[in-house]
């Protein structure tokens, strides 16, 4: 039976309560370390941090609107081989979905990890976050979550959530072993904790948290948020489709690309050890550029930018989880996420597949299904 429990909150201090929860996690014999978003002491930034001693939990900050990287790649590095201990990883829902995709792509393992997810309140872009946080990242986090949970929205000091977050229809950690609920919960008094797998139930049973029940209004609030996000997403898709529906428009859309490949590096499920675009295949001979220029009269430099993105779309559309790190990493503010998310949504819908939904669901094209796409094959 799934365990439902609470984390007690005093004086609406969610960060202190989450620190106490992490401390209790480390007290469990089954847990060797916690991977948790933590404020860096040298700068107002929050990064995934591997913690083994409770004395080093002072900066725990999973509610921060900072999202400088998708932690799925970090967790994949920590779990791809046996580590000799179990890690409790506190992550955003899109990070958990990306990790599950990496597991299915044989880049990570679930045996040595317990996935703990929280209702995601969203995040700002890197530059916006630095401007918002200023010199006091902890105070900035408190302002952020108090505004969102009070129903006042995430737009503060002239900054708002990234487009990826506003278009995310899955801000709930349904794929986690343990879910920490914020929406529809009286967060001034407690946080909701839900065991969603046998591994999650076992850990919660060991922790001995006070039992609880799911508030009756939680599902309605979740449904309302999901509906508004879907509306924003569909409007985004329509605008992106209109801006990229022929090759000339696509060239314009991607015109600022400088082939830095930041989007590839930032993508949590782009896992190739060697990318074809950084091999000799695209290290063209100087004479080739002159021939292209003579044939057309002029050739944009650098070349292959559109081909690069089309190749990535082909590779990633079945695995994209919509975290938005591709756009977050782009130095020229190309709306890469909107394009990739639109194509991925249509691709995954065609295969009746949802990236990161379940570790047991095989990726498209990885297995033969005799009755698939009957309208195409004509059988």
Residue-wise pLDDT for 127-136, tens only, equals 999 999 998 9
pLDDT at 273: 80
* pLDDT confidence bin for 1, thresholds 50/70/90: low
pLDDT at 12: 81
Is pTM beyond 0.75 here?
yes
Arithmetic mean of pLDDT, 33-62: 92
pLDDT at 300: 85
**pLDDT at residue 365 above 90?**
no
pLDDT at 377: 58
**pLDDT at residue 43 above 80?**
no
Q: 180 to each of 5, 90, 358, how far by Cα in Å?
A: 9, 10, 19
Arithmetic mean of pLDDT, 227-249: 97
**pLDDT at residue 194 above 80?**
yes
Arithmetic mean of pLDDT, 263-282: 87
pLDDT at 66: 96
**pLDDT at residue 371 above 80?**
no
Q: Exposed, middle or buried by CB within 10 Å (0-12, 13-18, 19+), for 11?
A: exposed
3-state secondary structure of 149: helix
Residues 309 and 282 sit within 8 Å (Cβ to Cβ): no
Tokens of 237: 């898709």
**pLDDT at residue 291 above 60?**
yes
Residues β-bridged to residue 192: 6, 181
CA distance 191 to 18: 9
What is the overall mean pLDDT for the chain? 92
Higher pLDDT, 366 or 311: 311
Residues 61 and 46 sit within 8 Å (Cβ to Cβ): yes
**pLDDT at residue 41 above 60?**
yes
Percent of residues, the chain, with pLDDT higher than 90: 82
- Render pLDDT for 62-114 as a digit per residue (tens, 0 to 9): 999 999 999 999 999 999 999 889 999 999 999 999 999 999 999 999 999 99
Q: 348 to each of 82, 156, 229, 258, 351, how far by Cα in Å?
A: 32, 34, 18, 29, 5
Regarding beta strands 113-118 and 87-91, do their DSSP bridges make them parallel or antiparallel, or are they unpaired? parallel
* pLDDT confidence bin for 42, thresholds 50/70/90: confident
Residues 367 and 378 sit within 8 Å (Cβ to Cβ): no
**pLDDT at residue 50 above 70?**
yes
- Render pLDDT for 153-163 as a digit per residue (tens, 0 to 9): 999 999 999 99
* pLDDT confidence bin for 279, thresholds 50/70/90: confident
**pLDDT at residue 379 above 60?**
no
- Omega into 237 within 30° of 0, i.e. cis? no
């Amino acid at each position: 039976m799934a365990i439902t429990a609470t984390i007690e909150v005093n004086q609406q201090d969610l960060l202190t309560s989450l620190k106490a929860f992490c401390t209790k996690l480390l007290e469990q014999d089954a847990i060797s370390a916690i991977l948790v978003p933590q404020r860096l002491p040298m700068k107002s930034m929050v990064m995934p941090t591997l913690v083994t001693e409770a004395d080093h939990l002072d900066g725990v900050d999973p509610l921060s609107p900072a999202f400088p990287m998708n932690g799925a790649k970090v967790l994949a590095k920590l779990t791809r081989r046996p580590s000799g201990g179990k890690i409790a990883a506190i992550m955003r829902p899109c990070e958990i979905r990306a990790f599950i995709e990496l597991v299915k792509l044989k880049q990570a393992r679930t045996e040595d990890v317990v996935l703990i997810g929280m209702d995601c309140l969203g995040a700002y872009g890197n530059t916006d976050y630095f401007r918002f946080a200023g010199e006091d990242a902890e105070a900035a986090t408190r302002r952020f979550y108090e505004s969102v949970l009070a129903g006042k929205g995430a737009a503060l000091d002239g900054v708002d959530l990234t487009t990826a977050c506003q278009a995310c229809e899955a801000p709930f950690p349904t794929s986690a072993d343990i879910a920490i609920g914020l929406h529809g919960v009286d967060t001034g008094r407690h946080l909701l904790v839900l065991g969603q797998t046998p591994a999650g139930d076992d850990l919660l049973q060991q922790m001995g948290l006070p039992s609880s029940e799911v508030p009756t209004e939680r599902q309605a609030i979740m449904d309302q948020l999901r509906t508004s996000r879907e509306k924003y997403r569909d409007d985004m898709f329509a605008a992106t489709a209109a801006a990229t529906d022929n090759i000339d428009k696509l060239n314009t859309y991607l015109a600022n690309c400088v082939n830095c490949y930041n989007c590839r590096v930032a993508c949590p499920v782009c896992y190739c050890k060697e990318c074809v675009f950084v091999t000799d295949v695209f290290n063209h001979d100087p004479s080739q550029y002159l021939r292209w220029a003579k044939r057309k009269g002029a050739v944009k430099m650098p070349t292959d930018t559109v081909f690069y993105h089309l190749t990535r779309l082909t590779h990633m559309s079945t695995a994209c989880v919509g975290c938005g790190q591709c756009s977050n990493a782009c130095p020229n503010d190309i709306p890469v996420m909107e394009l990739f998310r639109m194509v991925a949504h249509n691709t995954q819908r065609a295969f009746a597949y949802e990236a990161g939904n379940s570790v047991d669901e095989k990726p498209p094209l990885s297995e033969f299904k005799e009755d698939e796409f009957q309208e195409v094959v004509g059988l």
